[in-house]
Structure 1
């Protein structure tokens, strides 16, 4: 078990270590239910309320960031550099956006409006390339749950 990143005065408990290990094993964008199920596979009876308390502690410590993708459940990702998300409304795949356009927007706000952005949140909802191709062939979307989509860059020459 890895030591979870906690703030001053927060206790490093076995339960919090189990939650942190589940988060790192599940990867980006896991939900409280997914974390609970992962832990309960080895520790039956582990309480969902314990997961929520640990998620709150990690969020307060700045180690975790809650993310909302539309109307679904809150997802949690390990805090790091800001990035935005595009979510496919058919397969629920997630694409991380780390585009310079967002930096330009923040610079515009600073320079023209004297507004200092601390964090930028953008959620783009649409249809990924794989689902668009499935639709062209009249196939239903393949619901695989939340997954990270691959970056595809199209260049015109």
Structure 2
């Protein structure tokens, strides 16, 4: 079991305080304001460790920067096609959906992610 470092705590607190689906750069900028000596690599490494440990959720964005979500329960997201922001979608997450796939290619499924896309209200104006 890895010990919790001060840097990891700073990164975790930044993700929780920002309360959105933040990029690693946004977390780095937030932490650096209070702790100017922290490196970008330290922030990136700790974000990945926190997501691997289940403390935060990593949201992979096709063609864009990964995002980090302070909400760890299983849920879906929507990405605005104009501004690129990520939002939660209020729809039930169905566990085991991958078990309904006709597996003609021999995959060993481990889960799934669904990313909806559209325009957020601000960009739709």
TM-score bracket for this pair, using the shorter chain length: 0.7 to 0.9
Cα distance in 1 between the residues matched to 2:122 and 2:68 = 25
Work out which structure has the larger RCO, using CA pairs closer than 8 Å and 6 or more positions apart in sequence: 2
Cα distance in 2 between the residues matched to 1:49 and 1:88 = 28
Runs of at least 5 residues in structure 2 that lack an aligned partner in the other structure: none
The change in CA–CA distance for 1:74 and 1:94 in structure 2 (over 3 A counts) is: closer
- Corresponding position: 1:41 with 2:39: no
Question: Could you say what secondary structure the match of 1:76 adopts?
Answer: strand
Deviations 1:113-133 (A, max 9, x none): 8xx97533111222234433x
TM-score by length of 2: 0.77
Across the two proteins, how many residue pairs are aligned to each other?
121
TM-score by length of 1: 0.63
Match of 1:106 among 89, 97, 101: 97
Runs of 4+ in 1 over 6 A off after TM superposition: none
Q: Which moved more, 1:118-127 or 1:28-37?
A: 118-127
Question: Could you say what secondary structure the match of 1:66 adopts?
Answer: strand
| Bigger Rg, which one | 1
Deviations 1:61-81 (A, max 9, x none): 122221123312111113522
The change in CA–CA distance for 1:124 and 1:61 in structure 2 (over 3 A counts) is: same
Residue 4 (structure 2) aligns with: 12
Question: Could you say what secondary structure the match of 1:80 adopts?
Answer: coil
Runs of at least 5 residues in structure 1 that lack an aligned partner in the other structure: 1-8, 135-157
